[in-house]
Amino acid sequence: MTRLIFLGPPGAGKGTQALLLAKDCEVPHISTGDILRSAVAAGSELGQKAEQYMSAGELVPDELILDLIQERLGQDDTKAGWLLDGFPRNVPQAEFLQKLLDQIEQPVDFVVNLDVEDDVIVARLLQRGRDDDEESVILNRLQVYRQQTEPLIDFYRDRQQLVSVDGNQTMDVVHADLKRLVLE
């Protein structure tokens, strides 16, 4: 049984590492982006609500994201475990998630923080070459992360659930470190 939450700044490799580890552990990799796209594609009531915000170029409100997470964690494929990537993004979401996990009796094993230095993140994201990967945009995203998401590190450390992994290493070395952490 594997239930993990992945934290880390944009460009730390959360999505890549969570996806690889989910395959190793044979559990679903759950990202908020995937949940939103699936709900919209399925035409569910929550998906239709989310699509209204997304098509207007607005952020989907926390309350709707929380409902979608609750719906996703209630599906059959999550009984053996899951890896959450991109959620929670702030302390109120983490508090909600904790209540939800208590309610559905699926406690998180631990929270993985991929720790990567800002200059490494900037270099990685600039190499990707996406349209929105200009240095000023990247620095703004990092600032937003520091303000909104980084407090989760203390939140989970205080609950003795946080494990930090050095994300400054190659993808293969980080993956090997994560496998040792989870599978041994």
Q: What residue numbers does the annotated binding site cover?
A: 11-16, 32, 37, 58-60, 86-89, 93, 128, 130, 141, 169
Q: Which amino acid is at 166?
A: D
Which residue stretches of the chain are H helix?
A: 14-25, 32-42, 45-55, 62-73, 91-103, 118-128, 135-144, 151-158, 171-183
- Cα–Cα distances in Å, from 167 out to 68, 72, 98? 29, 28, 26
Question: In Å, how far are 127, 142, 184 from 132, measured between CA atoms?
Answer: 12, 13, 39
Residues designated as active site: 14, 89, 128, 130, 141
Residue 31: name the closest of 75, 74, 62, 68 by CA. Answer: 68
Per the annotation, binding residues for AMP are 32, 37, 58-60, 86-89, 93, 130, 141
